[in-house]
């Protein structure tokens, strides 16, 4: 990938159905990726297990939005026991940091007191949200962040949640594969859609969160 890549070029790439990745955190090169099979999470199809539902209801985590982008992406890039090197290198951190400053990249963060214990980040264009990565230092911390993300997307009128690749973890959460053609059929109307990432303001009400996370309006 060219060393002169800009955030604007990156947004155009997402709109064309491609995204960058590195071979490892230590490799400074980036490569454009367009999977033959795309993982997506239907906004009315998130699978919330009984255990995860209890975690949301217990409110053991405080949810914050867009308050700690550098820390979230650092958490996503970090190595943990049982988890080797990730694909998030210094160029990825810089580019997405610029998108964050532009208001095109967002975080959903889970906190215990003043400690960030999990979260996720992704890119927003129109009514499409492109999930990039998540991390967790406590049980269910990243999954609770995902529940709050889906609630926020549903409340804000989003049409597409792109999870990039299918894997067993995402499949258990309701992710489904789309062919490249199917993905573009859903991507194009989502890009031109009108959505509001900040419309949802009820992260402190677990009943409302769970309702919106399953594509329902609360009673």
- Per-residue pLDDT tens digits of the chain, which is 219 residues long: 445 788 999 999 999 999 998 887 777 888 899 999 999 999 999 999 999 999 999 999 999 999 999 999 999 998 776 655 677 899 999 999 999 999 999 999 999 999 999 999 999 999 999 999 999 999 999 999 999 999 999 999 999 999 999 999 999 999 999 999 999 999 999 999 999 999 999 999 999 999 999 999 876
Would you state the pLDDT for residue 4? 74
The closest alpha carbon to 183, from 155, 163, 168, belongs to 163
List phi, psi (to 5°) of 202.
Answer: -125, 40
DSSP helix/strand/coil, 62: strand
**Cβ count within 10 A of residue 66:** 16
Q: Whole-angstrom Cα distance, residue 187 to residue 138?
A: 33
Q: Whole-angstrom Cα distance, residue 137 to residue 191?
A: 33
**For residue 131, what are the β-bridge partners?**
122
This prediction's pTM: 0.94
């Amino acid at each position: 990938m060219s060393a002169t890549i800009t955030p604007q070029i990156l947004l155009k790439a997402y709109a064309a159905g491609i995204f960058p990745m590195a071979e490892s955190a230590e490799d400074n090169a980036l490569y454009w990726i367009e999977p033959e099979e795309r993982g997506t999470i239907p906004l009315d199809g998130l699978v919330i297990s009984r255990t995860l539902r209890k975690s949301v209801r217990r409110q053991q985590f405080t949810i914050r939005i867009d308050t700690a982008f550098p820390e979230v992406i650092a958490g996503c890039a970090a190595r943990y026991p049982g988890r080797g090197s990730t694909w998030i290198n210094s160029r990825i951190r810089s580019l997405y940091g610029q998108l964050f400053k532009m208001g095109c990249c967002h975080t959903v963060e889970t906190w215990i007191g003043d400690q960030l214990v999990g979260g996720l980040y992704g890119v927003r264009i129109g009514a499409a949200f492109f999930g990039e990565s998540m991390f967790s230092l406590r049980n269910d911390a990243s999954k609770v962040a995902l529940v709050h993300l889906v609630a926020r997307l549903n409340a804000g009128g989003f049409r597409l949640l792109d999870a990039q690749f299918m894997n067993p973890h995402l499949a258990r959460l309701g992710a489904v594969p789309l062919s490249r053609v199917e993905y573009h059929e859903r991507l194009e109307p989502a890009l031109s859609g009108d959505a509001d990432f900040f419309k949802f303001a009820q992260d402190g009400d677990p009943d409302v969160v769970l309702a919106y996370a399953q594509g329902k309006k609360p009673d």
